[in-house]
Amino acid sequence: MINDVENNDWFRGSFITLEIRGGYCGSAFIFSGRKVRTRGDSQCEETESTMKFSRAFNAASVLFVLLLITIVTAKKSGDVTELQIGVKFKPKSCELKAHKGDRVSVHYSGKLTDGTVFDSSYERNDPIEFELGSGQVIKGWDQGLLGMCVGEKRKLKIPAKLGYGESGSPPKIPGGATLVFDTELVAVNGKKSAADSEL
List residues with catalytic annotation.
108, 118-119, 138, 164, 181
| DSSP 8-state symbol, 179 | E
At 32, the amino acid letter reads S
**Concatenated DSSP letters of 85-129:** EEEEE--S----B--TT-EEEEEEEEEETTS-EEEEHHHHT--EE
Closest by Cα among 191, 163, 157 to 84:
157
Query: For residue 71, what are the β-bridge partners?
Result: none
Closest by Cα among 35, 34, 39, 36 to 21:
39
Please check whether residue 130 is in contact with residue 199, taking contact to mean a CB–CB distance below 8 angstroms.
no
Query: For residue 24, what are the β-bridge partners?
Result: 19
Distance CA 120, CA 184 (A): 12
**What are the residues whose beta carbons fall under 8 Å from the beta carbon of 37, sequence distance 6 or more?**
2, 3, 4, 5, 46, 47
